């Protein structure tokens, strides 16, 4: 696994997503569990819940619809980082998502909400 020292820029993340053909969906925990059975899926989760996942061969990103707005945005960023750089480890993907999240403007947060609408 390669380490990424530099933070990925939000506009680069979005530009990659827009060219990718992926779509974003909000799903219930039960629907997420079913999707997470796919071998090609990567999950962001705790013991208690799946926050989000990406299914690469189906061009789908799924976010748990029962999360808070902030957790949804963070989960979407996490999945977008996977899409941007699939070689990053889970730990590096999560730390990238957190750093990007802290730097977001209101407009950028609004754009994340729009992608999940």
**Is 1 within 8 Å of 87 (Cβ atoms)?**
yes
Q: What is the closest distance, in whole angstroms, from the C-beta atom of residue 89 to Zn ion in the complex?
A: 9
Question: Per-residue contact track with Zn ion, 10 to 39, x per CB under 5 A?
Answer: ------------------------------
Site for Zn ion contains 62 (CB under 5 A): no
Cα torsion 23, 65, 84, 34: sign: negative
Length of the chain: 117
CA distance 59 to 72: 19
Choice from 27, 35, 44, 62 touching Zn ion (CB under 5 A)? 44
What is the β-pairing status of strands 23-27 and 50-55?
Answer: unpaired
Beta carbon nearer to Zn ion, 47 or 107: 47
Which one of the spans 14-22, 26-34, 86-94, 100-108 is the region binding Zn ion (CB under 5 A)?
Answer: 86-94
Residues of this chain that bind Zn ion (CB under 5 A):
42, 44, 90
């Amino acid at each position: 696994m390669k380490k990424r020292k530099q933070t990925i820029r939000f506009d680069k993340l979005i530009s990659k997503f827009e060219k990718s053909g992926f779509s974003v969906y909000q799903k219930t925990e039960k629907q997420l569990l079913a999707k997470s059975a796919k071998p090609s899926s990567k999950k962001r989760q705790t013991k208690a819940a799946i926050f989000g996942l990406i299914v690469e061969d189906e061009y789908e990103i799924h976010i748990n619809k029962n999360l808070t707005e902030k957790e949804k945005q963070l989960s979407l960023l996490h999945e977008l980082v996977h899409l941007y750089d699939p070689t990053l480890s889970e730990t590096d993907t999560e730390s990238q998502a957190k750093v990007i999240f802290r730097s977001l403007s209101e407009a950028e947060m609004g754009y994340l909400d729009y992608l999940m609408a």
